[in-house]
């Protein structure tokens, strides 16, 4: 994938990952509730988390959203692509920032960038059906639920279903 550009929203600067971000993101990635529907259990070791976050072998890109007025990152979003013209997105909010529209605002900037600047044709997300907040967010952003895969992966909470959400460039109203 391309370099990770800085994206701006009215309230946030979404910038590439940098040293020290692991400290701000630790509360999300070590929290049972925030990691409930991820493919792995919460991290218990900060070193292991840092290795995961800064894994140079991962071919995707990471952005962290910092408030424009200053302060620590409050949101992480990623994009990766294994197929030409198709990008997968993922995201996690730092605890204590729920209900403020941060995910919607930042993902709108990312999706707009992927479609309008980088020329992607399709963006998709893979979400556990029990993750009601994330599923509502994708629906509000205009994604279509395209598939329900039963027992698609075994996670730390057992076998999990997944919903696949898709959005095409000509559907994006950004």
Domain coordinates in residue numbering, the chain: 7-124
Q: Tell me which residue of 143, 113, 99 sits closest to 125, measured CA to CA.
A: 143
| Pairing verdict, β 61-67 and 7-8 | unpaired
CATH of 7-124, one of 3.20.20.150, 3.40.630.30, 3.20.20.70, 3.10.290.10: 3.40.630.30
The tokens describing 152, both together, are 């698609």
Give the per-residue pLDDT at 174. 76
Give the per-residue pLDDT at 56. 87
Q: Please give the full DSSP string across 36-88, using - where no structure is assigned.
A: TTSSSPPP--HHHHHHHHT-TT--SEEEEEEETT--S--EEEEEEEEETTEEE
Give the per-residue pLDDT at 1. 54
Q: Which CA distances in Å does 168 have to 23, 86, 97, 140, 141?
A: 35, 9, 29, 15, 12
> How far, in Å, CA of 47 to CA of 167, rounded?
36
Q: Tell me which residue of 113, 122, 109, 73 sits closest to 93, measured CA to CA.
A: 73
Task: Provide the residue-wise pLDDT of the chain in tens; the chain has 174 residues.
Answer: 568 999 999 999 999 999 999 999 999 999 999 999 988 999 999 999 999 999 988 999 999 999 999 999 999 999 999 999 999 999 999 999 999 999 999 999 999 999 999 999 999 999 999 999 999 999 999 999 999 999 999 999 999 999 999 999 999 987
Give the per-residue pLDDT at 10. 97
């Amino acid at each position: 994938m391309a370099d990770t550009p800085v994206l701006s929203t009215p309230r946030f600067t979404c910038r590439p990952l940098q040293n020290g971000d692991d400290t701000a993101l630790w509360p999300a990635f070590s929290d049972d509730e925030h990691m409930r529907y991820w493919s792995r259990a919460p991290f218990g070791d900060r070193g292991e988390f840092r290795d995961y976050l800064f894994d140079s072998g991962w071919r995707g890109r990471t952005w962290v959203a910092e408030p424009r007025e200053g302060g620590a990152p409050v949101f992480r979003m990623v994009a990766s692509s294994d197929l030409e013209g198709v990008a997968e997105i993922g995201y996690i909010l730092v605890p204590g920032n729920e209900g403020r529209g941060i995910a919607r605002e930042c993902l709108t900037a990312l999706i707009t960038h992927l479609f309008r600047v980088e020329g992607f044709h399709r963006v998709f997300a893979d979400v556990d059906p029990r993750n009601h907040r994330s599923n509502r967010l994708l629906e509000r952003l205009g994604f279509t639920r395209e598939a329900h895969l039963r027992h698609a992966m075994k996670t730390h909470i057992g076998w999990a279903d997944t919903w696949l959400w898709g959005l095409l460039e000509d559907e994006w109203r950004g």
